[in-house]
Amino acid sequence: MPESRPERTSRDLREEIQQTRPFRSTSQEAVIALMRTASVLSRRIARLVEPHGLSLAQYNVLRILRGAGAEGLPTLAIRDRMIDEGSTVTRLLDKLEQAGLVIRDRSRPDRRQVLCNITPAGDELLAMLDPQMDVMDQALMAPLDPEQQRVLIDLLGELRVEVGGAAAGA
């Protein structure tokens, strides 16, 4: 008798993380599957940006600053837009500034606020990486058809709203 898809997936995840016992609940399995998948995707993307002297978090900062345009962004606004909320933005900006990819400006009326901008070198690096990242995005999502991708996006969005809202209100 052919095995059902969910059973095969559960066994595959357990084998992948070398877990011999069944998961305590479907919720636990879903959380671990999501975390494991995020880790796998992050490692693949990191291999694309690391040869260019960037971590994933640094790449994320550059993309955020490019999107901000000529106005730039204050440090806290960058932190709020980061994919990985655990990143230390000041340290990331220090490294990006040393590499000539970002500039910081304190010459505002409120010198406590640091305004950050991407440099032309940072823009050039992203422009060079964009086509490679587009190919990577397509390859990583290739196992899912466009409708499945849309469902995944919607489900993950629901989780972020509910869990993020619960965390923010706690």
pTM score over 0.85: no
Does residue 22 sit within a domain? no
Q: What is the DSSP letter of 74?
A: E
Q: What is the C-alpha to C-alpha distance for residues 89 and 65, in angstroms, rounded to an integer?
A: 12
Q: How many domains does the chain have?
A: 1
Q: Report the percentage of the chain scoring pLDDT > 70.
A: 85
Query: What is the extent of the structural domain holding 104?
Result: 31-169
Encode pLDDT of 80-96 as tens digits: 999 887 678 999 999 99
Does residue 11 sit within a domain? no
Q: What local confidence, expressed as pLDDT, does residue 60 receive?
A: 96
Does residue 163 sit within a domain? yes
Does residue 53 sit within a domain? yes
CATH assignment at residue 126? 1.10.10.10
Encode pLDDT of 51-109 as tens digits: 999 999 999 999 999 999 998 999 989 999 998 876 789 999 999 999 999 999 876 66
CB 65 within 8 A of CB 46: no
